[in-house]
């Protein structure tokens, strides 16, 4: 059975939404053109997961209006905890679909750093946004879900770091969801010009028990020559959502793009994290941890494609799968013809905690060039009964022993996350999820 | 005073009977040594006391101060006061030695009565110094990449931190050089006293030069065939086990036997 795409919104709807959000005029056309394509282009085909019965198109309402926050004290406790009490000068909060809080240090403003909601960005930084918005990163017509994101975009953020500017303190963006009717069609654009550097922290948090809509999220990151961006994210979206999240990077010469992703959703999730190493000598490091539980289905693709010479792609991901969840890891290292001297490494480890859980690690190397190095390692295993015996023989309960082994299993990834705030939140979320 | 009592213990592994009726009583403030040739069931006894999942007790009882040990889960046995220093300790990635120890200590304590961090660190440092362990072994992952000797010291470190009523030391001396043997033995001797009883399993008299046992038992073919005092260990060292076979009229087994 295939689900016919019945779209909730017409061209008129997306145009009037664009107008209501006071976007740049080109954005209205951009949305309308994307909408026209949605019907014609196919769904993505994530390896080893059938999604033809997943519902990616239906949602109760396109956008909800939610409260803004005058002060961080207005935030609910769970959201407030995610904000570093000593360091939150560079912070943007989106409340469901509403831009709700914005703070950027005077110093960064003076240096030309931009942090603003995506609607305002199309208007105030129209040329910049237009240059990067679904052009060289994610394409509108990649598949139906990217086209849907383009047409229905109802949130997101624009971060711009000019040439030679080093952003010392991280910029944090919190997407806070507390309305079960709300869908998230977010679009994030991060541009770090030549010789700049940025740490970006992204939190998806929901306090809803069960969501009713879509989470269709696209992030595009562009590193200029010799720039360095660290993108740390912890996604905690509830069941009920159908989640598609695509995080894409495009690198300039000698730049570094480091990803540190904690995929902690309880929803069925198709996640892809892809870097195109375009510039010679550029480097991308992808670290991902995943916990699947309940009857959740997750398909996690991490992919680094080397186009430039002497590029380096490192993939490391660890996943724990419990209950009757299914998690698929697709790891792809691709070296294109001409990318001499490049290196593609990947390592995937999965730990299965129950007889009903399913895990599959699927490593792929696609090498079109001779003078390169590449390697992969993948394991899927269960908790070692002898390790359990050893821990329990010291008086540690079965549950606690299992907890230690799981944390230990994820530690090689979590401990390497360079952003302390992300590490802390992730550790706490893992704690909750594996209990 | 506490008593660990083993009566008529029969243990199988994968359908094969290894222990064929073992009787042994250990009280606090006693150190017992079990000696015997390879493959006679000494390690099986150690694993059965702790509740290793692969060993099945088919008959007999183990009690600790009258409590049925065989009814307890592995962690309950530990919290009741049993400890097994293992011959081949597991390596656990991502869990630091210190975190593991603190979790184990707190497992015996009530919620809200956790060991104070500073006190824990002081005690850990002191014990590691006694055992001449590198400081970084507290922050390294549990047994991961430890040498054979480091693993054995780490077992004794756990013993000293957890302070059980009864410890079973399963070939704690194997793979140790003389210096390490001396250090490990000192660690064990320091534990001697009213609150501690110990069962040492070893092939070699060597360890018993450092730790003088109160009782020595010989195990052959899954049974304790002879018991005595420290002199018995010396006699075995000089004469081997063959004379025992003759004296007790035991047919040497020709079939392979692994335990």
Q: What is the mean pLDDT of residues A146-152?
A: 98
Please report, rounded to a whole number, the percentage of residues in chain A having pLDDT higher than 90: 91
Q: What is the mean pLDDT of residues A391-412?
A: 94
Q: Give how far B242 is from chain A: nearest CA, Å.
A: 35
A408 and B52 within 8 Å at the Cβ level: the answer is: no
**What is the reported pLDDT for A216?**
98
**What is the reported pLDDT for A1?**
36
Domains of chain B: 3-93+162-248 (3.40.50.300)
Helix (H, G, I), strand (E, B) or coil at A247: strand
Closest residue in A to B155 (Cα–Cα) = A394
Beta bridge partners of A301: A272, A330
A395 and B94 within 8 Å at the Cβ level: the answer is: no
Mean pLDDT of chain A: 95
- Which residue, among A382, A387, A388, A394, would best test binding to B if mutated, counting the most B CBs under 10 Å from its CB? A394
pLDDT tens readout for residues B195-217: 999 999 998 888 999 999 999 99
**What is the reported pLDDT for B174?**
87
Residues of chain A found within 8 Å of residue B74, distances taken between Cβ atoms: 389, 392-393
pLDDT tens readout for residues B60-99: 999 999 999 999 999 999 999 999 999 999 999 999 999 9
**What is the reported pLDDT for A84?**
85
Using the predicted structure, report yes or no on whether residue A194 has a pLDDT greater than 70: yes
A408 and B94 within 8 Å at the Cβ level: the answer is: yes
A398 and B75 within 8 Å at the Cβ level: the answer is: yes
The number of angstroms, rounded, from the C-alpha of B152 to the middle of its chain's C-alpha atoms is 11
B78 and A392 within 8 Å at the Cβ level: the answer is: yes
**What is the reported pLDDT for A5?**
57
B94 and A407 within 8 Å at the Cβ level: the answer is: yes
d(CA A259, CA A227): 14
Helix locations, A341-397, DSSP H: 385-392
The number of angstroms, rounded, from the C-alpha of B162 to the middle of its chain's C-alpha atoms is 14
Please report, rounded to a whole number, the percentage of residues in chain B having pLDDT higher than 70: 97
Q: Give how far B69 is from chain A: nearest CA, Å.
A: 13
Which of B52, B90, B107 comes nearest A395 by C-beta?
Answer: B107
């Amino acid at each position: 059975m295939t689900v016919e795409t019945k779209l909730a919104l017409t061209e008129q709807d997306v145009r009037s939404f664009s107008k209501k959000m006071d976007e740049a005029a080109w954005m209205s056309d951009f949305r309308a053109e994307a909408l026209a394509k949605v019907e014609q282009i196919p769904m993505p085909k994530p390896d080893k997961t059938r999604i033809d019965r997943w519902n990616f198109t239906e949602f109760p309402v396109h956008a909800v209006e939610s409260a803004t926050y005058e002060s961080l004290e207005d935030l609910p406790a769970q959201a407030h905890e995610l904000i570093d009490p000593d360091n939150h000068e560079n912070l943007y909060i989106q409340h469901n679909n509403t831009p709700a809080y914005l703070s950027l240090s005077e110093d960064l403003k003076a240096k030309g750093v931009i942090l603003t909601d995506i609607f305002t960005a199309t208007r105030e930084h129209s040329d910049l946004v237009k240059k990067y918005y679904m052009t060289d990163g994610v394409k509108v017509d990649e598949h139906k879900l990217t086209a849907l994101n383009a047409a229905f975009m109802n949130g997101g953020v624009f971060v711009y770091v000019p040439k030679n500017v080093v952003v010392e303190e991280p910029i944090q963006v919190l997407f806070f969801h507390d309305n079960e009717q709300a869908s998230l069609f977010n679009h994030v654009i991060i541009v770090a010009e030549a010789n700049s550097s940025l740490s970006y922290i992204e939190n998806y948090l929901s306090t809803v028990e069960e969501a009713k809509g879509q989470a269709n999220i696209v992030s595009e990151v562009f590193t200029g020559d010799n720039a360095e961006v660290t993108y740390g994210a912890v996604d905690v979206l509830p069941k009920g959502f159908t989640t598609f999240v695509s995080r894409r990077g495009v690198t300039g010469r000698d730049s570094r793009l480091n990803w540190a992703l904690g995929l902690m959703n309880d929803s069925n999730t198709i996640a892809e994290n892809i870097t195109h190493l375009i510039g010679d000598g550029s480097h991308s490091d992808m670290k991902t941890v995943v916990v699947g539980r309940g009857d959740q289905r997750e398909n996690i693709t991490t992919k680094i494609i080397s186009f430039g010479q002497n590029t380096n792609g490192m993939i490391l991901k660890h996943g724990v799968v419990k209950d009757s969840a299914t998690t698929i890891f697709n790891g792809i290292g691709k070296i294109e013809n001409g990318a001499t001297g490049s290196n593609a490494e990947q390592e995937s480890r999965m730990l299965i905690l129950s007889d009903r859980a399913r895990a599959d690690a699927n490593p792929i190397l696609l090498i079109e060039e001779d003078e390169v190095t590449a390697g992969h390692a993948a394991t899927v295993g269960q908790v070692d009964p002898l390790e359990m015996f050893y821990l329990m023989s010291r008086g540690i309960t079965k549950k606690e022993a299992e907890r230690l082994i799981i944390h230990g299993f994820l530690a090689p990834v979590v401990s390497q996350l360079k952003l302390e705030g992300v590490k802390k939140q992730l550790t706490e979320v893992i704690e909750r999820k594996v209990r | 005073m506490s008593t660990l009592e083993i009566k008529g213990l029969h243990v199988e592994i994968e359908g094969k009977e290894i222990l064929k009726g073992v009787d042994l009583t250990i009280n606090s403030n006693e150190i017992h040594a079990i000696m015997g040739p390879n493959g006679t069931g000494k390690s099986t006894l150690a694993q059965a006391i702790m509740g290793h999942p692969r060993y099945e007790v088919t008959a007999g009882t183990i009690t600790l101060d009258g409590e049925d040990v065989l009814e307890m889960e592995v962690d309950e046995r530990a919290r009741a006061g049993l400890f097994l220093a293992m011959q081949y300790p597991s390596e656990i990635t991502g869990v630091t030695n210190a975190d593991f120890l603190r979790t184990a200590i707190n497992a015996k304590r009530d919620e809200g009565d956790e060991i104070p961090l500073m006190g824990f660190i002081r005690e850990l440092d002191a014990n590691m110094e006694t055992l001449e362990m590198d400081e970084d072994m507290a922050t390294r992952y549990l047994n991961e990449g430890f040498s054979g000797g480091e693993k054995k010291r780490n077992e004794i470190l756990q013993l000293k931190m957890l302070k059980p009523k009864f410890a079973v030391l399963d070939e704690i001396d194997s793979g140790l050089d003389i210096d390490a043997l001396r250090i490990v033995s000192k660690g064990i001797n320091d534990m001697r006293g009213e609150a501690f009883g110990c069962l040492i399993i070893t092939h070699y008299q060597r360890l018993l030069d450092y730790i003088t046992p109160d009782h020595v038992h010989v195990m052959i073919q899954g049974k304790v065939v002879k018991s005595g005092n420290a002199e018995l260990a010396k006699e075995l060292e000089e004469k081997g086990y063959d004379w025992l076979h003759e004296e007790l009229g035991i047919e040497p087994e020709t079939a392979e036997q692994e335990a």
